[in-house]
Each structure stands twice: as C-alpha cells, then as structure tokens.
Amino acid sequence: MSKERQKYEIYINDRLLILMSETELSTISTDQKSLIMPYKGLKKSLFQYMEILEKSSRFEQVILFAADLGLMYDDLKSLLNWVPAAGGIIHNQEKKILMIFRKGLWDLPKGKLDPNEDFPTAGLRECQEETGLNALQLKSKAGTTWHIYRDKKGLRCLKKTKWYHLNLVKDQIPVPQAEENITDIQWFTIEDARRLSPIHKSVTVLLNNIS
C-alpha cells in the first residue's frame, strides 16, 4: 500500500464501501446516506457491511475507519478472491474517447490480467482485444478502481483495476468484441461521455477526472 493512501473507495452495486484512516474523518461528506463505523479488527464483521450494500438501499455508502488503514484493507482482501485487472481510456486524434456498450451499460474496455502479466501490458492488450484497434500507444496512468462482486459460483471477489490513457496513433475503425458481450462501440467527446446513461458510477468518476 502506498504510504500516501488515506482511503479506499470500493464499489458494491454502485454503492461505496469506504475504508478510511481515522485521521481523515473530518473529510467525510454528509451529503449521502452514510453508515460510519470504527473497524475493531474483527474480520467477520466486514461481511456484515458488505451485505448491507448488497441487499439494502438504506445507505449509499458504508465508511469504516481505523488507525491502521493498511491492516483493515489486508483483512478485507484476505476474505475475498483477488482479481487484478486493467483497462484503458482510448483517445483519438480528434480528442474523443472510445466507449463500449456491454451488458446494458456504457463502459470502458478492461479485463483480467493473464498469468505473469503486468498491469500496463494487460491494459493495452484488453483495449486491443475489445475494440479491434492495434495502433494504440500507452500514454499515462488514469487511476485505480476497486469492486466487490460475486462470481458465477456466488463467491465474493475483490477486483482491483488499474486504468491507463492510450492514444490511437493512426485512424482505424473500432470493432466491438462480440465474445465479450460488447454490442456497441462509439467515439464521444469527454463531455458527452460523462452524460451517458446507464453507466457504472466508477466509470463516471474516471471520466470526471479527465482534464
């Protein structure tokens, strides 16, 4: 864990489980329906908070705080299947970005790491595979997101996705990867992409951070 990190924002069904250093409590926004609780080191209690976000709409976010943020995050990670992933925000020469439509939602190309693959390599590969574009150049980091979801066996997984900015260095026509349930693919201005609906909240947050 980076020494500078003061919190983790982990999406569960587009709601947030926030793990936070207790020194950051003063930064909490009260605009949303929030449950704020201290983490006392009991791992099994974390299941309770995950279930609240999975099964109820009572709270938009659950905030857990502790003196040792790293230990709290490690406790959560130890309870879940670990899924490293990477994806990209593809920019063309007209300063538009490429969005895909998958399983009823607008999204960005992404996918799991292959064995022994690093995050930047996976991000480039997934963007190439899901869009059919091979003239892509990795530019810079775009952020990191975390999700908790259930796999086909019903087991909870913690997915960490690292995102990258990529440039399309020559004109090509994108082709959606049908095997990944991608049914549409389009270029949008950043402003129009931010207004797309339905869309994952985490993707909107990424798009809002583009200057």
**DSSP 3-state assignment of 54?**
helix
CB 180 within 8 A of CB 130: yes
1 domain-assigned: no
Tell me, what's the pLDDT at 112?
A: 98
CB 165 within 8 A of CB 91: yes
Final residue before a domain boundary, out of 79, 107, 137: 79
2 domain-assigned: no
Tell me, what's the pLDDT at 4?
A: 61
39 domain-assigned: yes
CA distance 142 to 49: 29
Tell me, what's the pLDDT at 99?
A: 98
Average pLDDT estimate for 125-131: 98
Does residue 121 carry a pLDDT above 50? Answer: yes
Same domain, 140 and 200: yes
For all residues of the chain together, what is the average pLDDT? Answer: 95
Average pLDDT estimate for 175-189: 97
Domain count within the chain: 2
H/E/C letters for each residue in 162-203? EEEEEEECCCCCCCCCHHHCEEEEEEECHHHHHCCCCECHHH
Average pLDDT estimate for 183-210: 97
98 domain-assigned: yes
Q: What is the CATH number of the domain that holds 154?
A: 3.90.79.10
* Confidence label for 1 from pLDDT (cuts 50, 70 and 90): very low
Same domain, 70 and 94: no
Average pLDDT estimate for 72-92: 98
Q: Which residues contact 191 (CB under 8 A, 6 or more apart)?
A: none
31: left (phi over 0), alpha (psi -120 to 50) or beta: alpha
31-45 as b/e: b if 16+ CB within 10 A: eeebeeeebeeeeee
Tokens 């449950």, located at residue? 35
